[in-house]
Amino acid sequence: MTKRLLNILFLLLPLTLHAQEATVVLKGKVVDSADGYPLIGVAVYVDDSKTGTMTDVDGAYELKIPQRRCEVTFSYMGYDEEIRLYTTKNASAFSRIVMSMNAEQLADVVVTGVYERKKESFTGASATFKTDELKAVGSTNVLQSLKTLDPSFKMMESTQFGSNPNMMPDIEIRGKTSVAGLKEEYGTDPNQPLFILDGFETTLETIMNLNMNRVASVTILKDAASTAIYGSKASNGVVVIETKAPARGRLQLSYKGDFGLSLADLSDYNLMNAREKLEFESLAGVYKDHTGNAFAQIRLDNLYNERLKEIERGVDTYWLSEPVRTGFTHKHNIYAEGGEDKIRYGIGLSYGDVAGVMKDSDRQTLEGNVDLIYRSGKFQFSNKLSINWLDVSNPVVSFAEYAYANPYYRKYNADGGIDRYLYYPEEGIDDYPVANPLWNAHLNNWDKASGFGFTNNFILEWFLSKEFRLRAKFGLTKQDDSEQTRLSPLHTQFDDVGETEKGLYSHTQIDELSYEGDVAATFGKLIAEKHMVNAVGGFNFSSLKRQVYGYSANGFTDDRFDAPSFANGYPSGGSPDYSQSLKRAASFYVNGGYVYDDRYLMDFNYRLDGASMFGTGNRFRNTWSVGTGWNVHKEPFMQNSDFFSLLKIRGSVGNPGNQNFSAYQAFSTYKFNGWMTNVFGTGVILNALGNTQLAWQETVNYDLGTDLTFWGERVNVTLDYFWKHTDPLLAVITTPGSMGVTSVAMNAGSQKTQGWETTFRISPIYRPAEGINWNISFNATSLRSVYANIGDSFSALNESGKTSLAGTTRYYDGGSPTAIWAVRSAGIDPATGKELFIKKDGTYSFTYDVNDEVVVGDTQPKIEGLFGTMLYYKGLSVGCFFRYRWGGQVFNSSLFQKVENIGTQEIYNNQDKRALYDRWSENNREAYFKGISMVQKTEKSSRFVMDDNSVVGESFNLGYEFPDKVARRMGVGAMNLQLTMTDVFRASTVRVERGIDYPFARSMTMSMGITF
């Protein structure tokens, strides 16, 4: 206590003497530790006096200071503060001041896109990955790599579209918050997280197209404390991506290239060969005439014999090899950067050509970008401009059509040509013709899209003082896309169409213009050495206008001449498509953080959002969050132990919302009764009923977590428990017809989700000084959701699910959104071959009753995640990552539709091998499947629900960083090589056809980076 008093006295003393003090002038130059370049605009001042100055263009400064002991501070944004003691005798020590880039800025900072915070003092749940980590596990795109690194970030695998490079995936962070079915209704995925690129909101497409080599870091914000600053857009989590800023120095040129190979993975297909298929058809009774007509029987016998003869001749066509190819992918990125402290610039050009594993499946991207940073005194201007061009094409004949083709047909006719039909029934025979998939594929059909757009993001920062900063941002994006498809007049689809109406050309144009502006003030100060206060407040506005228009034309006469000018006219009754939507949002936000002595942490956020999509009754909405944390490792009682370098416990709560909904759902709109006018003229009636009282979907989000680093930085653990309550849900509800509409967007019920996630990394060998490090990582996540208070709101969806062929999703209170509903099955009765069902009350019955449905499984696994290992030895690195999934079930639609339920139409398609084997018959009574039949309908039962446990070899990689000496001898500054293999293998307890319209791919990529 006495010491402190003395201190204060000591401080006061010089002040009182200030007037008659002698002064001295310090002279010197401030340079960057990394490259020795002068730093311009560095603040130089003496702490307890009002004297201060700034360095000039050469980094030089002159400062008049009192001739006594004092501390001189050198402060510069983004750099570690440099404080030197002036002892009255060491003026020469001030001639050259070396400042270095803030280490925290580079490593342990959470970038939220609105503000930055030291990871150690942040209370939110987030994960940050650097470019090297992302590149190490894959080179396809940022999101592909992210899913290998973080268990909460999930990219939904599409059984339908496989590895189609032109399909945008569905993405979720910590599960769904919205009812399924809305995507179909509104076109946007209501569970998609928010993407922020360099501080501006952007689209999933932009992120998918972004060349990975431009990325500096990616941060996933998961809980309320970290996402609430984005308010009503944040309930699905936020992905913040920062691109690299140009580095200072002489002009430096770097090249990065990726060269990849991908192969279709057809191992999930288990189709019959020619002999098996014919036997199956024969057993199903295809070659038996049921009317007892002798002539018909002779025809069928002949047909069977013909096919058998073909098989004896060795025909056993493997159709699946036709549409696939080895896809070659190459991507290049050239970046030139340089400049001095005042002006820095970067100019880049990226090109990518991705060839999918199906023929005609291509995606080409070209992107140019110019980054400029200009700094003058207290101002910094930065501008990022990027221009992109896109050209894609898709196969016209889906993969499924090849999977349907029977193996006993030949691909080519005797002349080597392609026939239109594989089988065409004779005149007067009531039978289906079988089209040849190769016929439609060899015609001049196409499905193409192209796009052109630019984004310009401008940021102005004004460093008013050390503590206080103002920032204004404005971003503008224009994107024009067009989609064109053409079907040749010879396409089998037009077989029954008049000569002048064959062929089809359609064109859709999508124009988007969006802008976003933001003004914010940032404050940060350490008060009395123990109280760290941070605050951000600002105003944000954004607008997105989207216009879609298109038309179709038909009446082509020639396969070859495909320009729309050859069309004969428009489809009869067709009218042009047109739609326009305009969404606007405006918000105010405040964020505050307080840290006491680096030990006790507090964060709060508040945001007021307004959006045009919501009704006048509910236009504005509040978002808040509070987070708190405790750095246990900073406590005095831990100071003696070196074991923990980080031990933090944190918790947060908040209510981020979701506004991924359509633009005009709050409006009642009207249309003309186009079909009739009368003597009174035109009439108008209601088109869509709006709901002005529609409330925002809101998710209250709790998170409790801990971050641990111990054993000399060798072990890293993060553990989070979270609990989410979305209330109200926003859904399109089927209403009683008497309300005048059959469905309406309404708030109904709620959804509760709880789960946990963990990442664990240990380095048994950790010798950073020698460049040797071996680590093993493991991460896992688990979550479970239930509906509450939905009552009968979704009864129509439940009813349609019950009657649909394979719908197993139901909406009931207490039910899980991912539960599989079906009637329990006791298997096939050996005596009769009939399926024995278990009724709700546990009794057995041969009759199927849809009301006996219960939950028989859940597609959400009990636990899933990744494990892997990386070894760094000097410049060499080797790693592999495996994805696992355990405790979930799946409704095996392959068994349901390609083994049983093969009707009189499906019998003409090739089927799963299991449709022939393991079927019940007099001789095989213990079979799992019913007897072969074309007429028997199989109902949804638990017999088709299977455990879905799997392990996937998601990413294997090998990298080498050439030593400087070697690189220089090769004439370059630095060089590295990397080899990555993705989806190498997949082992699963269930065998189900994956990649129906487009197969999955296994790929291998070689990447190299050269800096000149």
Partner 1 sequence: MRRIFAYIAASVLLLTSCDAWLDVKPYDKMSQDELLSDEEGFIKLLNGIYIELNSDMLYGGALSVEMVEIMGGAYVIGTDNTVWGNYSDLASYQYGTEYWRSRFSETWNKAYSLILNCNLLLENLENTRVSFTGDNYKIIKGEALALRAMLHFDMLRLFGPVFLRNADLPAIPYYKEYTIVPNAQMTAREAAQEITKDLLESRILLANDPVRTEGTRLDAPSDGSSTFMYYRNLRLNYYAVTALLARSSLYFGDNKEAYAYSTEVIKAAETIFPFVDRSLVTGSPEDPDRIFSSEVIFALSHTQRNRLFKNYFDPSRIPNYVFRMDNDLMSSKVFGGGSLTGGNQDDYRYRVNWVATGANRYFYKYSDMVETGNIRNTMIPMLRLGEMYLIAAESRSEDIGAGLAYVNRLREKRGVGNLQQLDRQILQYEYIRELYGEGQLFYMYKRMFTPVLFSAVDSRNPQPSDAIFTVPLPDTETENR
Residues near partner 1 (CB under 8 A) are: 539, 541, 578-586, 610-612, 616, 619, 663-664, 667-673, 676-691, 693, 733-742, 744, 746, 792, 795-796, 799
CA distance 58 to 544: 45
Which one, 569 or 683, has the nearer CB to partner 1?
683
In 88-245, beta strands by DSSP E: 96-99, 109-111, 116-118, 126-130, 153-155, 171-173, 194-197, 200-202, 215-221, 238-243
CA distance 821 to 815: 10
As given in the structure block, the two tokens for residue 431 are: 């039978």
What does 581-633 look like in DSSP terms, one character per residue? EEEEEEEEEEEEEEEETTTEEEEEEEEEEEETTS-GGG-EEEEEEEEEEEEGG
CA distance 238 to 701: 14
For residue 878, count CB atoms less than 10 angstroms from its CB and return exposed for 0-12, middle for 13-18, buried for 19 or more: middle
Task: For residue 361, give every residue at least 6 positions away whose Cβ sits within 8 Å of its Cβ, in sequence order, or none.
Answer: 164, 165, 166, 327, 355, 393, 394, 395, 998
Which one, 684 or 831, has the nearer CB to partner 1?
684
Angle at 775 between CA 773 and CA 781, to 5 degrees: 155
Contact between residue 932 and residue 284 where contact means Cβ atoms under 8 Å apart? yes
CB of 736 to partner 1, least distance (A): 5
CB of 636 to partner 1, least distance (A): 43
Contact between residue 957 and residue 1004 where contact means Cβ atoms under 8 Å apart? no
Which one, 558 or 799, has the nearer CB to partner 1?
799
CA distance 363 to 745: 37
CB of 729 to partner 1, least distance (A): 15
In three-state secondary structure terms, 862 is coil
Which one, 142 or 733, has the nearer CB to partner 1?
733
CA distance 62 to 216: 37
Which one, 81 or 799, has the nearer CB to partner 1?
799
CB of 607 to partner 1, least distance (A): 14
Bridge pairing between strands 854-858 and 819-822 = antiparallel
CB of 538 to partner 1, least distance (A): 13
Q: With the C-alpha atoms ordered 264, 265, 268, 272, is the resulting torsion angle positive or negative?
A: positive
CA 43, distance to chain mean position in Å, is: 43
Phi, psi torsion values for 7, nearest 5 degrees: -55, -45
Which one, 383 or 618, has the nearer CB to partner 1?
618
Which one, 619 or 991, has the nearer CB to partner 1?
619
Alpha helices in 195-333 (DSSP H): 204-209, 224-227, 274-284, 294-312
In three-state secondary structure terms, 273 is coil
Which one, 267 or 789, has the nearer CB to partner 1?
789
Query: 294-312 and 274-284 helices cross at what angle (nearest 10)?
Result: 160
Phi, psi torsion values for 637, nearest 5 degrees: -70, -15
CB of 333 to partner 1, least distance (A): 39
Phi, psi torsion values for 100, nearest 5 degrees: -120, 150
Which one, 295 or 680, has the nearer CB to partner 1?
680
Alpha helices in 720-862 (DSSP H): 795-803
CB of 232 to partner 1, least distance (A): 13
Which one, 683 or 768, has the nearer CB to partner 1?
683
Which of these, 373, 132, 348, 131, lies nearest to 248 by C-alpha position? 373
CB of 586 to partner 1, least distance (A): 5
Neighbours of 85 (CB within 10 A): 10
Which one, 142 or 666, has the nearer CB to partner 1?
666
Which one, 328 or 672, has the nearer CB to partner 1?
672
Residue 713, CB half-sphere, CA atoms under 13 Å: how many?
5
As given in the structure block, the two tokens for residue 601 are: 């942490």
As given in the structure block, the two tokens for residue 196 are: 């922020």
Which one, 399 or 614, has the nearer CB to partner 1?
614
CB of 464 to partner 1, least distance (A): 20
CB of 664 to partner 1, least distance (A): 5
CB of 731 to partner 1, least distance (A): 13
CB of 670 to partner 1, least distance (A): 4
Which of these, 509, 478, 581, lies nearest to 186 by C-alpha position? 581
Neighbours of 703 (CB within 10 A): 25
CB of 748 to partner 1, least distance (A): 11
Q: With the C-alpha atoms ordered 699, 152, 885, 325, is the resulting torsion angle positive or negative?
A: positive
For residue 337, count CB atoms less than 10 angstroms from its CB and return exposed for 0-12, middle for 13-18, buried for 19 or more: buried
In 58-149, beta strands by DSSP E: 60-66, 70-75, 82-86, 96-99, 109-111, 116-118, 126-130
Paired residues of 820 in beta bridges: 857
CB of 539 to partner 1, least distance (A): 8
CB of 739 to partner 1, least distance (A): 6
Which of these, 508, 458, 450, 457, lies nearest to 479 by C-alpha position? 450
Q: Which 8-state DSSP code applies to residue 906?
A: G
CB of 851 to partner 1, least distance (A): 14
CB of 669 to partner 1, least distance (A): 4
CA distance 191 to 724: 14
In the chain the first and final C-alpha atoms are separated, in Å, by 60
Which one, 67 or 616, has the nearer CB to partner 1?
616
CB of 572 to partner 1, least distance (A): 18
Query: Cis peptide leading into 564, omega within 30 of 0?
Result: no
Which one, 137 or 535, has the nearer CB to partner 1?
535
Which one, 455 or 659, has the nearer CB to partner 1?
659
Which one, 19 or 685, has the nearer CB to partner 1?
685
Which one, 413 or 616, has the nearer CB to partner 1?
616
